[in-house]
Amino acid sequence: MPTLCKPSVSVPENVITMEDTLKFAETAHAGKPQLPLVLRLIRNTGVQKRHIVQPIEKTLRHPGFEERNRIFEAEAKKRCPPVIGEALANAGLTTKDIDAIIFVSCTGFMMPSMTAWLINNLGFRTNTRQIPIAQLGCAAGGAAINRAHDFCTAYPDNNVLIVSCELCSLCYQPDDDGVGSLLSDGLFGDAVAAAVVRGSGGTGVSLERNASYIIPNTENWISYAVRATGFHFQLDRRVPGTMEPLAPVLRELAVNHGWNIASLDFYIIHAGGPRILADLSKFLGVDEDMFRHSWATLTEYGNIASAVVFDALRRLFEEDTMTPGATGVIAGFGPGITAEMAMGRWSTDAPTAGMDRVAHAVLASAEEAQ
C-alpha cells in the first residue's frame, strides 16, 4: 500500500504580521470605498503572520511580470533542494530511488518544468517521470498526493516525490482594488514543501482511497485574470459557503470506504480561510480541535496554497500521537471549485539509519548547480 511519509516544509525569512498588513493596506488604498470591508475581512482571517520571499518594501513594488517570474525561478531553485533533501531523508530514500516527481505551483511559470532542473541538478535518474501540475491552485496539494497514490498503485514498489513551491507574494498587485485581490494580500503566504509517497514501506499515511469532485458551474468562483502585470487573483463572495455542498461528498467517500467521516482519528484539511475550516467541522459533525493542525498553519503561515496540506501533515507527525491503524482524511480545495480527497490509515515502518547523509548529498548537488 503506498505510504505518504513525513513532509518537509520551509518558509522564507521575511515576516509580515497582521498589523503590518493592515497598515500597508490603509496606506496603499486610502480613501477607496471597499477598504473598510477589506480591513474587516483581513482581521477575520486569523492570520497572525506570514512569510514572504522578499522584504515587504520590494513586495509592495511591481517590477513587471517578467522580473517577478525570474524571481520565482531563482527562488525556487534556491529553496527547493534543501526541502527535498529533508523529505527524502524522512522517507529513508535517495534521489536514485525516486521514479516520478510531481511539481506543483500556481504562482510562477517555467518551461521546461522545474522537474527537469531537479533531475539535472540533484542527482535523480534521467528516466524519472515528470508530472508538473500548474492550474489546480490550492487543490494541487491534494491532487499531487492522489496522483502519487495512483502512480504507485499502477507501479508497485515505485516511489514518488512531491514538491510544492508557492510564492504567493509574487502575485501581489498593488494597483488592483478588487475585494478578492485585496483580501488575498492579507491571506496568502509563501512556502516550499516536499513529501515522498513510497510504494512500499515507510511511516506515515497508508493511502487507501482517493477521489476528486467539482462543484458544478463554479469554475469562475476562484480564478486568475492573466494580464500584462501577471496573475490577478479573483474570488467570488460565495466561495466561503462551499463547504456545505462538499461535506456530503466527503461523507460519501468515507461511507464507501466503510468509515464514518465524523469519527476519524486525524483530519488534514486545506486551510483556505477560517470559515472553510469552521463550516466543514460543523457540517461533518467534527470538533474544531480535530482541525488544529490546519488552524495552526493558517494562523502562523497564512494560506500557503498547495503547501497547506503538507504543513498540516508535518504538524501531525511532530505531535507524535498517532498509532498504527489510526484513520484519517486529507482534503484540498481550490479553483473549479475542486476537491481532492484521500482516505488513509497510519502505518509504521522501521527507521533507516544514516539517512541524514541523503539531505547533505542533495544540498551539495544543489550548491554545485547554483
Alpha-carbon distance of 249 to 243, in angstroms, equals 10
Counting residues of the chain whose pLDDT is more than 70, the rounded percentage is: 94
Spot the catalytic one: 5, 80, 106, 138. Answer: 138
Mean pLDDT over residues 141-153, rounded?
98
18 closest CA partner among 52, 49, 56: 49
| Residue 183 pLDDT level (bands cut at 50, 70, 90) | confident
Q: What is the tens place of the pLDDT at every residue in 9-45? A: 999 999 999 999 998 888 877 878 888 888 888 888 8
In this prediction, residue 199 carries a pLDDT of 96
- Of 49-53, 99-103, 361-365, least confident by mean pLDDT is 361-365
**pLDDT above 50 (res 200):** yes
**pLDDT above 60 (res 140):** yes
| Beta carbons of 308 and 278 less than 8 angstroms apart | no
In this prediction, residue 99 carries a pLDDT of 98
Contacts of 341 (CB under 8 A, 6+ apart): 142, 146, 210, 211, 212, 213, 249, 250, 253, 329, 330, 331, 332
Evaluated on CA atoms 291, 292, 295, 301, the torsion sign reads negative
Mean pLDDT over residues 358-370, rounded?
59
Torsion of CA 209, 331, 259, 203, to 10 degrees: 70
Mean pLDDT over residues 320-347, rounded?
97
Alpha-carbon distance of 254 to 169, in angstroms, equals 36
Contacts of 365 (CB under 8 A, 6+ apart): 81, 95, 121, 122, 123
Residue 214 has which C-alpha cell?
467539482
Evaluated on CA atoms 28, 76, 67, 64, the torsion sign reads negative
Kindly state the helix (H) or strand (E) to which residue 223 belongs, with its residue range.
strand 222-227
Helices (H), the chain: 18-28, 35-44, 56-59, 65-91, 114-122, 140-154, 179-187, 243-256, 274-284, 292-301, 308-319, 356-369
Alpha-carbon distance of 72 to 67, in angstroms, equals 9
What is the distance in angstroms between the CA of the first residue and the CA of the last residue of the chain?
Answer: 37
| Beta carbons of 304 and 188 less than 8 angstroms apart | yes
Return the SS3 of 262.
Answer: helix
Q: What is the tens place of the pLDDT at every residue in 208-249? A: 999 999 999 999 999 888 898 888 888 888 998 999 999 999
Active site residue 138: yes
Alpha-carbon distance of 170 to 185, in angstroms, equals 10
Residue 149 has which C-alpha cell?
497514490
